[in-house]
Structure 1
């Protein structure tokens, strides 16, 4: 039955691409532009830097200091603090990429890696504030609300997931005096254990990061096309009808159900559709956007599943955590809507300052990244190609 379903779905996709070539092309171009202009140039520096920090032992160095915090709070080693910080700063799927890398380095057990990946795949602040709040909703104040619900929910998910597999063995942690001395010793031993010269380390970091981002770009393009074809074939409306029965219990307006369903597949398109259907009341739209941001969308989940497939880390705990994060973030958005947004509108001075500074600054930064993004992408793809050619010639 599974083989028939997979073959049938693939055949339907192929036939739909032939029947609707123009919408498929437009959706593909839209996904390519997103990867070309924003995703690649924004994530590549983080990926390369993270690879270098791991290779040179800096992650172990940080982990020694953060172990007394990360272990009691999240039941993961101190190196998890590096993944958490980089995941929040650079956005998904950085958390999965770095967790997989640390698992391959044997710095995490299997259960610890599954705990860590469950709460380190977060949306980056620029996307939440600049794209969702400013570009889509036109309200910079919503960025604070969305960020508080998203990152607060992330931390709560990490605390909940600390109890997952708690009977399983965990990585060793040596309690000793002289924390600074031990941290430097861990850094030095990690660097000495890696026998590669600096040029090889840097080249591997560039090539591995580019390969990961090429895979991410393929997922972004395919899910953009897939989402568009579902809408054209009427499958979105059909499935959304069942979702309406569930959302009506919570009083969610029917016009937000189809955008919500689209957001479950691809966050950017869903967020834009939700903002367009929101009207003047942002309460339910913000709750829905908080849910789909935390859920990550099937596009991001497919990227994470592909990255985790290179290790023994299972996907099921991550998917469970995404559902848990979705409901927690939606609940926090509902609770914080009044204190962080509705009442905030009455504070005229702060509103004036944010309206005059935050949207302009954020939009200028987004336009700057978009203008440099394609050139940076081409340059780094050329660098990666030259590295591979040189290695093959040698």
Structure 2
């Protein structure tokens, strides 16, 4: 029996067992599905939609090409990617998973990146956004806004390290045009390139806006499906005690790194879905906050199989391979966990939290407006997010019907 037949047998068996589990535990499956839908409906869709639409417009107007010319002297020496990678990096950090993959795939389709450059870029531009780190994890789960500083710094430092490592991925690309740091009148050249990019696109404003909304909503619908699927899958694995078995095995891995064995179940859950894994980590009793921070930092960086499946689906539309991205997530997880451990005492204990407060006490300044704005914004998303989602979906349906009529 060859490998393809074995793979087909494994996939078919897995799908059959999943169907049996869904039939056996309908109530638990429904509740898990509802939970995933609420996350997508209330937060993910309304928070990601503006970034997706704006990015499509910026690419269509040639602004991204302009930014690429200006950032070429920074991005090329550090990460061996074109300057447009700076735009993807910034937008990925601001909007969170899986925006980096979405923008990278879009630029690859525009031939602004080679396949190798795209694989390098996507490996370090997918990150958790500050809203999720501070609002959902630090304040929502741990009730400690100051913890978000450690998690955020560790997360983004880990991403930079991954980018520096992945610059060695693939063969050296031959740059056909001279480096822009040797050009004169860089601004003039950047504007000329942006104008040429706009002329090549050649879509009127109404068409460009409609395509941006349609493409963004289509991607977000796919993301919502993965969130719901993995929410149900995570619940079913817990019910049939597979989570407990794998968590027992993970306890030996945690022991190697001198981490508490009680964090095995939260870690395994986080490997599937970052929200549940972070929540379970925060609820684990009698565990020092430093160990909770290390595990949470790893979970945020690894990003969970749910996010990785979303990225794989986006990259499947291009010639960008998924394997380098998966390897990069492992590197990112270990880097982020290591930074959280190293920076804990000098940054969190000695700087953020006064020694007399202790590491598990919320300092008074952590509740000021600089941090509470993340919680306020998250509350707004939960309140008005469904309205934004429903309104956008109605617009998407109207645009889709209009598109069908034009081609019929």
- TM-score band, normalised by the shorter chain? over 0.9
Are the aligned partners of 1:83 and 1:99 in contact in 2 as well (CA < 8 Å)? yes
Name the structure 2 match of 1:104.
109
Are the aligned partners of 2:93 and 2:125 in contact in 1 as well (CA < 8 Å)? yes
Name the structure 1 match of 2:168.
163
Name the structure 1 match of 2:229.
222
- Within 1, Cα distance between the matches of 2:355 and 2:254? 33
Instruction: Tell me which moved more, 163-172 or 47-56.
Output: 163-172
- Within 1, Cα distance between the matches of 2:347 and 2:108? 39
Name the structure 2 match of 1:363.
375
Instruction: Tell me which moved more, 150-159 or 339-348.
Output: 339-348
Question: TM-score when scaled to structure 2?
Answer: 0.94
Where does 1:297-376 land on structure 2 (aligned, <5 Å)? 297-343=304-350, 344-346=352-354, 351-376=363-388
- Within 1, Cα distance between the matches of 2:261 and 2:27? 30
Name the structure 2 match of 1:243.
250
Are the aligned partners of 1:216 and 1:303 in contact in 2 as well (CA < 8 Å)? yes
Q: Does 1:392 align with 2:404?
A: yes
Name the structure 2 match of 1:199.
206
- Within 2, Cα distance between the matches of 1:231 and 1:238? 10
Q: Does 1:266 align with 2:273?
A: yes
Q: Does 1:212 align with 2:219?
A: yes
Q: Does 1:181 align with 2:193?
A: no
Q: Structure 1: 5+ residue runs without aligned partners?
A: none
Are the aligned partners of 1:109 and 1:170 in contact in 2 as well (CA < 8 Å)? no
1:365 deviates by 1.7
- Within 2, Cα distance between the matches of 1:156 and 1:392? 46
Are the aligned partners of 1:112 and 1:170 in contact in 2 as well (CA < 8 Å)? no
1:166 deviates by 3.9
1:255 deviates by 1.1
- Within 1, Cα distance between the matches of 2:218 and 2:178? 34
Structure 1 residues 104 and 244, CA, compared in 2 at 3 Å: closer, same or farther?
same
- Within 1, Cα distance between the matches of 2:293 and 2:334? 13
- Within 1, Cα distance between the matches of 2:127 and 2:83? 19
Where does 1:133-152 land on structure 2 (aligned, <5 Å)? 133-152=138-157
Name the structure 2 match of 1:55.
60
- Within 1, Cα distance between the matches of 2:346 and 2:52? 36
1:240 deviates by 1.4
- Within 1, Cα distance between the matches of 2:118 and 2:205? 28
Are the aligned partners of 1:240 and 1:258 in contact in 2 as well (CA < 8 Å)? yes
1:353 deviates by 2.4
Are the aligned partners of 1:103 and 1:113 in contact in 2 as well (CA < 8 Å)? yes
Are the aligned partners of 1:31 and 1:220 in contact in 2 as well (CA < 8 Å)? yes
Q: What is the SS of the residue equivalent to 1:346?
A: coil
What are the Cα deviations for residues 152-189 of structure 1, in whole angstroms up to 9, with x where unaligned? Answer: 11011101111111434356444321101001101110
1:258 deviates by 0.6
1:40 to 29, 38, 45: 45
What are the Cα deviations for residues 110-160 of structure 1, in whole angstroms up to 9, with x where unaligned? Answer: 100000000000000010011111110111110000000000110111011
Q: What is the SS of the residue equivalent to 1:139?
A: coil
Q: What is the SS of the residue equivalent to 2:353?
A: helix
- Within 2, Cα distance between the matches of 1:278 and 1:113? 42
1:278 deviates by 4.8
Name the structure 1 match of 2:84.
79
Are the aligned partners of 2:260 and 2:287 in contact in 1 as well (CA < 8 Å)? no
- Within 2, Cα distance between the matches of 1:280 and 1:244? 14
What are the Cα deviations for residues 77-133 of structure 1, in whole angstroms up to 9, with x where unaligned? Answer: 000000000000000100000000000000000100000000000000010011111
- Within 2, Cα distance between the matches of 1:178 and 1:348? 57
Instruction: Tell me which moved more, 348-357 or 12-21.
Output: 348-357
Q: What is the SS of the residue equivalent to 1:24?
A: helix
1:292 deviates by 1.0
- Within 1, Cα distance between the matches of 2:376 and 2:50? 20
Alignment RMSD (CA, Å) = 1.5
Instruction: Tell me which moved more, 241-250 or 49-58.
Output: 241-250
